[in-house]
Each structure stands twice: as structure tokens, then as C-alpha cells.
Amino acid sequence: MEIIIRPDAGAAVELVSRLLAMRIGNKPACVLGLATGRTMEQLYEQLSQQAISWQRCHTFNLDEYIGLTPDDPQSYRHYMQQHLFSRTDIDLHNTHVPDGNADDLKQAAIEYEQAIQAAGGIDVQLLGIGEAGHIGFNEPLSAIMSRTRDKCLTPTTRRQNAAMFGGDVERVPGRALTMGVGTILDAGEIILLATGRSKASIIAQAVEGPITSMVSASALQLHPNCKVIVDDDAASALQGREYYDFVFHNEPEWAEFRD
């Protein structure tokens, strides 16, 4: 795992945007795992301005609320259309979001895993992190080997996401269909982006704490190619900062990203 700390949210977002644009430039038919949420809004705005073609990319979103139709303004399919897909030349047939409105959610979950396999697996998985430590909607106690399935959301997550439902926590669906932690760990590369002081404690637990299903993001410590990119606020509870900064300033791979 590598931890890259940028001075502010704008710089963290810019770094992730450049990394993803490089990955797409190097492999135009790449398979991307995508996230939603407030942190990603800024990222998608920047990413859609990059001079890259998305035409041959395939995308798989992490999760979708159960019971929302794709055209519901609060659905993640709608979010992706608004924040990324409509701003790029991506072929919508190549974009996938779990079907949270399926009659048979178990079957929808199996088919989602099969679609990822059929596309050749995820090359790069983009992640945010929830205040309860979730990646996707893998809430505490999600098995590290879990696959796509339907999951009950924690009160913390529902409160965190209430802003997107007019501030009314009761309107936030109680369940979601989400890739599992195991599904996420199968990706070739993982890039987690977190900004803001509200993420400081959970970032420290995920990166420097024990691997535990109580903090799903801590499972990322098992992945051989995982980058955690944070701003100064989200990094503020990390103990090993001196070393992380040293790596960023000395590893050749980061040379072009240093100021």
C-alpha cells in the first residue's frame, strides 16, 4: 500500500484524475471499477475534462441502492450519468451499475460478478471510504471474501448520505446491492481517494490499524497494488506520515506528480 498526501482536496483530486487518465491512455479498452459519493463529484468533473477517449472503456460501479429505478434522481445510475457518462464519449452499453431494482437480487448479484469476469476483470478500481469504514457498501462485519450481494446499511452511512436525500435520513434506502470486499480485492490496481477531516480517523484505522471486518477498508492492506490518496485533513490522524512523504518524494513512479 502507498499513502500519498496532498496539501488540499483539489491537489488530491487532481492526482487521482491524472492517474486514471494515464491508465485509460495506456489501455484504451481498460475495465474500470467506479465509485459515487460527494468526493467523486469533483474528481469526475476533472476527469471528464481530460483529453482521453472513453469509447472503448468498460465500467462497473460498486453499488446501487435497493428499490431505486435507474432514472430515480437519487440512484447511482443517475449520478453516474450526470457526473461522468454524459460528459464523456463512453458507450453506455459498456457501463454497468448493479441492478438494485431487480426482482431477484441474488441472481442480479451473480450476474454482476459474471459480467465483471466476462469483461476480463477490473483493471483499476476507484474507491471512496465511508465514515464507518465501508468501501462500496461493505458495512462493518462484511466478510473479507464477500462477493456482490445485498447489504443492510448502517445508521452512520444513512446519516452520511442523507444530504443527497434532501437531508431526510428516513428517505435513504436501508439496503444496497454492492460488490463484495473480495470482488474489490480482485482488481489489478486499487486507488482510494479521501478528503476532509471527517475521514481522518477512519483513514488511520484502515491504513494503520489491524485488518478487521469491522473496518472493511482495512482489507486493502492485503492488496499488492493499492494507493490511498488523501488530502492533508484526511491524513491528519496518520502516525507514519514522515515515511509516506519520503516515499512520495523519492520513488521514481511519483516524479512527474511532485510539485
Site pattern 2..41 for ligand F6R (x: CB under 6 A): ---------------------------------xxxxx--
Are the C-beta atoms of residues 60 and 96 closer than 8 Å to each other?
A: yes
Residue 128 touching ligand F6R (CB under 6 A): yes
The radius of gyration of the chain's CA atoms, rounded to the nearest angstrom, is: 17
Site pattern 66..105 for ligand F6R (x: CB under 6 A): ----------------------------------------
Which parts of 143-162 interact with ligand F6R (CB under 6 A)? Answer: none
Residue 180 touching ligand F6R (CB under 6 A): no
Residue 113 touching ligand F6R (CB under 6 A): no
Residue 172 touching ligand F6R (CB under 6 A): no
The pairs formed by 74-80 with CB atoms below 8 angstroms and a separation of 24 or more are 74/164, 74/165, 74/171, 75/100, 76/36, 79/36, 80/34, 80/36
Distances (CA, A) of 227 to 93, 167, 214: 29, 32, 21
Residue 134 touching ligand F6R (CB under 6 A): yes
Instruction: Specify the residue, 57 or 176, whose C-beta has the smaller distance to ligand F6R.
Output: 176
Residue 136 touching ligand F6R (CB under 6 A): yes
Stretch touching ligand F6R by CB under 6 A, among 80-88, 128-136, 142-150, 250-258: 128-136
Distances (CA, A) of 146 to 94, 141, 185, 190, 213: 25, 10, 10, 17, 10
- Strands 63-65 and 95-96 come out as unpaired
